[in-house]
Structure 1
Amino acid sequence: MTGEELTGALRGLSHRYWGTHPFHRRMHAGELTAAQLRLWAANRWYYQCMLPQKDAAIISNCPVPEIRREWLARIVYHDGPADGADDGGQERWLRLCEAVGLNRDEVLDERYVVPGVRFAVDAYVTFARTRPWLEAIASSLTEMFAGHLMRQRVVDLLAAYPWIRREDLAYFTNRIDAVSGEGKSTLDIVVRHATTRDQQDACVAALSFKCDVLWSMLDAIERAASDE
């Protein structure tokens, strides 16, 4: 495939992204109870806290110094620049959890994480550890689809759940522009380094796998939420 064709094949998976999942649709429509919203936030935490390990796995497998340096910024973003820093992705997610009625201890001890979410997230980290680095990077390209969803989520959550304040959604408001830039940079890496058809097909399959991971997470959350 040409670079343009590969880009089209990757972007063509946008309909598989979890933005169209029924649980997300209900969230945006204001149809979740407070308990269901807490369940979502607590389970999504497990995904958030495992992202730095996924990114570290990519770095450990990547032989290209330029890419390793670029990818390191993702770990620093999610973990924060130092212990106790209030500007990391994980810290911002914990503040959102508190805003929906959870306390930090019950989020950090993962008591509400359902088996399906744990299995899907762990499978994603294992993928990054065991597959070629280029495929693992390609799996991150769901970020191409994330900016619009985050922007709409801020609007819809503020409108539908009046106990949530704009400052509680700092994870999303601070991530919108960053994720768009990361998506462009990641796509450039994949297009430049996937030079054979086998590599290109593997990158498309990796992104498809990541979409399955995200969708499976919400399937598991939705089943658990039906009991709330």
Structure 2
Amino acid sequence: MSQHHLPPPWSKEEFEAKLRGKSSGYHIHHPFHVMMAEGKLTQKQLQGWVANRFYYQICIPIKDAAILSNCDDREIRREWIQRILDHDGYKIGGIEDPGGIEAWIRLGEAVGLTREAVTSLRHLAPAARFAVDAYVNFARRQPWQEAVASSLTELFAPHIHQQRIDTWPTQYPWVQAEGLHYFKQRLTQARRDVEHGLRFTLDYFSQTRAMQERVLEILQFKLDVLWALADAIMLDQCHIEIQGPKHG
């Protein structure tokens, strides 16, 4: 098909609607997460989820650093760097924030794991590692604009965070309340991140229909990563309890 016969780009409103329409593939609909919301996970299974997802948490700032290393736009870098600070934490002058990774470790402690059990990664399922590594490698190797677009699963993240805040105190009353801090802080952070990432994506990728369709493919890839991660955790927890055999 010649360039003249390509369909025109969608309007930014249509494009955004198509991006948001991908929510049906978000992992909030995965059987494991449905079970979690309904209070059907055992303590061992919830611990296993926290332990496995920790690898995703520690790779988020690595992914974001890869985007920054490829990005030649100073204004984008100035905003994007906040994501690394959110997760790694920071010490600036007399101000210190332990960050989201530390909050996740405390979530692990709140569900009954030791800090060492979480940070050692000894409970990490191999398939979970592969899924997360696929995302980090995408951010390293693809153009930074595409890596920015891949972050747009955050469009759907506040809903899943709010769901945990709302359901865990009732469904899992044994989880210490302070463990929910990570989800509470991400409600604000994810919405801020989405505003930035979405604004850039709608502006940059609305030049042609082909570019817009490429973003839909990228967003589907990221949704597939999160779904595969949930698959890996569910399969792991169906067969191996958190105190059981270690992966060699």
Q: Which residue of 2 aligns with 1:137?
A: 148
Determine the C-alpha separation between the residues in 2 that align with 1:134 and 1:165. Answer: 40
Are the counterparts in 1 of residues 48 and 123 from structure 2 also a CA contact under 8 Å? yes
Determine the C-alpha separation between the residues in 1 that align with 2:209 and 2:34. Answer: 36
Q: Which residue of 2 aligns with 1:17?
A: 26
Q: Are positions 1:27 and 2:36 aligned together?
A: yes
Where do 5+ consecutive residues of structure 2 fail to align? Answer: 1-9, 242-248
Q: Which residue of 1 aligns with 2:135?
A: 124
Report how far residue 59 of structure 1 moved: 0.9
Q: Are positions 1:99 and 2:103 aligned together?
A: no
Q: Which residue of 1 aligns with 2:220?
A: 208
Q: Which residue of 2 aligns with 1:3?
A: 12
Are the counterparts in 1 of residues 91 and 97 from structure 2 also a CA contact under 8 Å? no
Answer with 1 or 2: which has the greater Rg: 2
Determine the C-alpha separation between the residues in 2 that align with 1:3 and 1:109. Answer: 45
Q: Which residue of 1 aligns with 2:6?
A: none
Amino acid at match of 1:202: R
Amino acid at match of 2:74: P
Determine the C-alpha separation between the residues in 2 that align with 1:178 and 1:73. Answer: 10
Are the counterparts in 1 of residues 88 and 98 from structure 2 also a CA contact under 8 Å? no
Deviation by residue 1:127-147 (Cα, 9 ceiling, x = unmatched): 001111111111100111011
Determine the C-alpha separation between the residues in 2 that align with 1:2 and 1:65. Answer: 27
- Give the alignment's TM-score, normalised by structure 1: 0.96
Amino acid at match of 1:111: R
201-210 or 44-53: bigger deviation: 201-210
Amino acid at match of 2:28: G
Determine the C-alpha separation between the residues in 2 that align with 1:191 and 1:116. Answer: 33
Amino acid at match of 2:220: S
- Aligned residue among 59, 67, 70 for 2:68: 59
Are the counterparts in 2 of residues 116 and 217 from structure 1 also a CA contact under 8 Å? yes
Q: Are positions 1:72 and 2:81 aligned together?
A: yes
Q: Which residue of 2 aligns with 1:219?
A: 231
Q: Identity over aligned residues, as a percent?
A: 48
Determine the C-alpha separation between the residues in 2 that align with 1:40 and 1:5. Answer: 36
Report how far residue 153 of structure 1 moved: 0.9
Are the counterparts in 1 of residues 22 and 220 from structure 2 also a CA contact under 8 Å? yes
Report how far residue 3 of structure 1 moved: 1.1
Determine the C-alpha separation between the residues in 2 that align with 1:87 and 1:182. Answer: 19
Aligned pairs, how many? Answer: 227
Q: Which residue of 1 aligns with 2:196?
A: 185
- SS of 1:212 mapped into structure 2: helix
- SS of 1:226 mapped into structure 2: helix
Determine the C-alpha separation between the residues in 1 that align with 2:42 and 2:107. Answer: 16
Determine the C-alpha separation between the residues in 2 that align with 1:203 and 1:52. Answer: 22
- Give the alignment's TM-score, normalised by structure 2: 0.88
Q: Which residue of 2 aligns with 1:199?
A: 211
Determine the C-alpha separation between the residues in 2 that align with 1:126 and 1:212. Answer: 15
195-204 or 171-180: bigger deviation: 195-204
Are the counterparts in 2 of residues 154 and 166 from structure 1 also a CA contact under 8 Å? no
Report how far residue 87 of structure 1 moved: 3.5
Are the counterparts in 1 of residues 125 and 232 from structure 2 also a CA contact under 8 Å? yes
Amino acid at match of 2:80: W
Q: Which residue of 2 aligns with 1:146?
A: 157
Amino acid at match of 2:218: A
Amino acid at match of 2:43: A
Are the counterparts in 2 of residues 95 and 168 from structure 1 also a CA contact under 8 Å? yes
Q: Which runs of 4+ in 1 moved over 4 A?
A: none
Report how far residue 184 of structure 1 moved: 1.8
- The Cα RMSD (Å) is 1.3
118-127 or 183-192: bigger deviation: 183-192
